Amino acid sequence: MITLGTRGSALGLVQAGMAEEALRAAWPGLEIRRRVIKTTGDRRTDVPLSEVAQAGGLDKGVFIKELETALQEGEIDVAVHSLKDMPSVLEEEFTIAAVLPRASVRDVLITKEKGGLKGLPEGATVATGSVRRRRLLQSLRPDLQVTDSRGNVPTRIRKLHEAREIDGLLLAQAGLVRLGLLDGGLVKSEGKEAYAEELDEERFVPAAGQGAVALEVRTGDAGTGSICEAVNDEESMLIVRAERSFLALLGAGCETPVGVIGKVARKDDPGARPGDLLMRAVVFEDGESEPLEGAVSGAGKNAGGLAARLLAELKRGGEPGN
């Protein structure tokens, strides 16, 4: 028997269910218990996440601290996380044993009126709880106003409908799909509809690990680690390891305005051999409205080396005259 720990949000519970289903398929007869744990980020929805982290002394991981404490104390055996919520460098006593098959990495702009990003009127207000999304949006549409948004996914969508002063909302596509709220170009929640536009990940670069669900275990728990490894998606793990390596080299926390995306090259991808890993990143420096950008490709097995090349490329692109 193993005990899974999860946040109590609607999305957290769905993702815990995904983990349970995968584990039962790999290990028929495995007894699984679920424990819901409220995190610092769940309790403090009245202020921006950056302020929650500062107030609690958590420069990283406002959605994982309590889950890791439960792991450490043996109250749970596996913590189920949205991987993008996890710091790029874990404490030595914790290990990501598996990543489930990754869903869409894209962000979605939800609006009350048709037209998407181009259709928003000048000076319109868009809500988001992510500094990355805020900075990317402002780089594409400097005329737009951006306001903070906290709460679980259905709550944020409800606030969009209720607040006359808010015209749009940015959320991850993966969460909308997993909650069954995305229906073609519409977001349907609590009997109301809004319009959805998928944002191109080449321009609106996602967060590291976005769309991925991670299973975290105690480093020394070989038994549970082996159980989880049976459900690991190797390609997803390869890609997110490279993305997280880039964040670690950059020294980026969860509230750093950085986007990084990797993908395995296919036959029709120019400039890369099939099977190579393609990586692209954008990073916003303090006071700069436009991001530094970089892209590389190479052997995916060398995640650290590829991430280092990406960081070097990004820095070269940000120097005057380049």
Q: Please give the positions annotated as active site.
A: 85
Give the pair of three-digit tokens for residue 53. 């982290």
DSSP state of 193: E
Report the relative pairing of strands 107-111 and 258-264 from DSSP bridges: unpaired
Question: Which region holds residue 180: left if phi is over 0, alpha if psi is between -120 and 50, else beta?
Answer: left
Beta bridge partner(s), residue 4: 34, 78
In angstroms, rounded to a whole number, what is the distance separating the alpha carbons of residues 50 and 54? 6
C-alpha atoms less than 13 angstroms from C-alpha of 313 in its C-beta half-sphere? 16
Collapsing DSSP states into helix, strand and coil, what is residue 292?
A: strand
Give yes or no for a contact between 262 and 245, defined as CB atoms under 8 angstroms apart: no
Among candidate residues 265, 83, 116, 266, the one with its CA nearest the CA of residue 204: 116
